[in-house]
Chain A
Amino acid sequence: MALVTATGLEKTYIIGEVRVEAIRGVDFTIEPGAFVSFVGPSGSGKSTLLNMIGCLDKPTSGSLSVAGTEVASLDRREGARFRGETLGFIFQDFNLLPVLSVYENIEYPLLMVLETPASERRDRVMTLLKAVGMEKQQKQYPDQISGGQKQRVAVARALITNPKLVLADEPTANLDHQTAYKVIELMKTMRDESGTTFIFSTHDPKVVGEAETIYTLEDGKLMNHGKGGQNHG
């Protein structure tokens, strides 16, 4: 059974008197454990699509099912709960909470969203800290670590709840190529280890090839769907 199924998906914004069709009749399926990239130029609808898959936004029409849940049916509170239990997020600007240390940032979803017991939290955080290579920096705060390290922390935070799906909107946009490549490799490794599905958006051709499945968006339409995996450093 597909993890994400979109059928006739449309999203239209009304900005003042202007009608913007951000997504226009998109159909696709993503299987569990996939490593998928949505690519396309700026304004092609990548972020809108990821926001809808991430239950942050609702489609104007069409159907979008994530992990068996029709995202349009969720209200605000149910959406938050669903995101916390089923999804993980990695942001372009890392979006770590500045008042929390590396350890606490990773711990945050377990503590504040899933309310996991302390001993279990510690084990899981330590495991992920090791996995992303941030053990030594665990007491440091976001303003004390580099961009690449921040994104490693963000990857760990996204995976701490054992989500079915991790969504990463332009995760490498603020990183140099070398670091970007390492972050994508880390995401892939985590996918291999945990079986979590990763969907990321990018317009960086150098990291696109790392995806196993590539969907190309242009003006809100899905132009083609191909296999990736060409780039290897």
Chain B
Amino acid sequence: MGSLVKIAVRNLLRYKRRTLLTASLIAIGVIFVLVFVAVTGSFKAMMIAQNTDAMLGHLQVHRKGYVASIDNLPLNLNLMGGAIARLEKVLDAQPEIAAYSPRIKFGAMFSTFTETTNIRLNGVEPERELATVPLLAGRVLEGDKTLVRGKLWLPELLAKGMKVKVGDTVVIVATNKDGSVNGKPMVVSAILESATGPGGRDGYLHSEDAAEILRLEGREVSEVAIRLKGFDQLDAVSARLDTLLAKELNQMQKPIFELHTWEKLSPFFNIAKMIDVMTFFIKLMLIAIVLVSIMNVMIMAVYERIREIGTMAAIGTLPGKVLGLFLLEGFSLGVAGAISGGVLGTALVWVLNISHISYDFGRQKGLILQATVDPKELLMISLIVIAGAVLASLQPAFKASRMDPIKALRHL
């Protein structure tokens, strides 16, 4: 095997310029795919993180039927005390769950005494909310990053539109599920950066203030957002929770809860999927580049070395070894392209990162590109290239191994 590798490598080095050109072409393909995957991966990761870590959480549990009406924020579909306790018991037993945050979501009227508009509000337990969506505090553009009773975090667009500043007193007026209206004066303690995505333009207040405004008599929750210790555990935990929550039935023997991952709740999941589809097609293009370039080189190599192949066969080299030699040449070209492309691609990603390239996402301006090369992705791209190289060499190698020695020796 070692001797075959030696001969294969020397054969490649025989035509240095051609080998260099082919390996360069493959390397450019690898660099392109690697940088594309790293940059889109960074964008995708940022988008997912913005959605999950600043607003949604990784998973959400609602009362059955709530999500179908989520745009109305229906108070009559809140989870009540007993159901909440049963839910918390299930969630507390899951070791993968890092935190969860009960929310009271409702629509209200927002008044500055001179102007009035609508607002969507989340009544939260601040510590639990920040543990579940840790990037929420980072959205505070100005004001106090600690949410306390009587204070309101207001989305930036609404604050600008209503000309409200930190420290201003406003009134929140809401209708509870019985139809009675209640209002409460509150002080704006922070202006929140408006984020792109569901809940990105909601205001926040303490859950006790929400309960007071809505005149809740017992404990009520619209949704429970869940954060996992690892994002990669999402599918496994989601499947398990789905099974466990399906067993929690009401008096009618119907399921109480419904569970959704962020993917089902955010339209950005479709963008993430689109990025995956684009990545897939880019990888297909890479395979095409590898197949065409390697096959071209190997067909040329076989054609140029017909007499050598004839000599090898005449002196007793078995067809399998001739086949192996040409496959190794293709394999070596693939390895050279994959390694050089991998190294250069990683270096280029590093250069992109130190260049601090900024971009906008929705209303978020000046986000810094944080492209990362996933070792698994790098390995996968390398394997695709190498497998493609071997595949492309197969036909020329097979042709070489089946060559009639006499015809080959006569070839001019």
Contact = CB atoms under 8 A, between A and B. Distances in A.
Do A and B truly interact? yes
Interface of A: 51, 54, 56-57, 76-77, 80-85, 87-89, 91, 93, 95, 97-100, 108-109, 111-113, 157, 161
A161 B315 CA distance: 10
29 contacts: A51-B406, A54-B314, A56-B314, A56-B406, A56-B409, A80-B316, A81-B318, A83-B315, A83-B316, A87-B316, A89-B311, A89-B314, A91-B311, A91-B314, A91-B409, A95-B310, A97-B7, A97-B308, A97-B312, A98-B14, A99-B10, A99-B11, A100-B7, A108-B315, A109-B316, A111-B3, A112-B4, A112-B312, A161-B316
A123 to B, nearest CB: 18
A112 B14 contact: no
Nearest to B311: A95
A114 to B, nearest CB: 8
A22 to B, nearest CB: 12
A97 B311 contact: yes
Interface string B299-337: 000000001101111111111010000000000000000
Nearest to A54: B314
Contacts of A111: 3
Contact of A56 (B308, B317, B405): B405
Contacts of A80: 313, 316-319
Main secondary structure of the interface of B (DSSP, over half): helix
A62 B310 CA distance: 26
Contacts of A99: 7, 10-11, 14
A51 B410 CA distance: 12
A81 B307 CA distance: 19
Contacts of B406: 51, 56-57
Given A112-B3, A112-B321, A95 B409 contact: yes
Pairs of residues from A and B, 3 with the lowest C-beta to C-beta distance, nearest first: A84-B316, A99-B10, A95-B311
B409 A112 contact: no
Contacts of A84: 315-318
A173 to B, nearest CB: 14
A123 B70 CA distance: 86
A109 B315 contact: yes
Given A88-B315, A89-B311, A100-B7, 4 more contacts: A76-B319, A80-B319, A95-B409, A97-B7
Interface string B1-30: 001100100110010000000000000000
Contacts of B7: 97, 99-100
Contacts of B307: 93, 95
Nearest to B314: A89
Interface in B234-267: none
A113 B317 contact: yes
A77 B318 contact: yes
A151 to B, nearest CB: 14
Contacts of B316: 80-85, 87, 109, 113, 161
B64 to A, nearest CB: 70
Contacts of A93: 307
A91 B409 CA distance: 9
Nearest to B8: A99
Contacts of A97: 7, 308, 311-312
Contact of A157 (B3, B315, B318, B409): B315
A97 B308 CA distance: 7
B6 to A, nearest CB: 9
B333 to A, nearest CB: 16
B315 A89 contact: yes
Contacts of B313: 80
B23 to A, nearest CB: 18
A67 to B, nearest CB: 14
B309 to A, nearest CB: 10
Interface in B366-409: 405-406, 409
A162 to B, nearest CB: 13
Nearest to B9: A99
Nearest to A87: B316
Contact of A113 (B10, B11, B315): B315
A84 B308 CA distance: 16
A77 B321 CA distance: 11
Nearest to B310: A95
Interface string B270-299: 000000000000000000000000000000
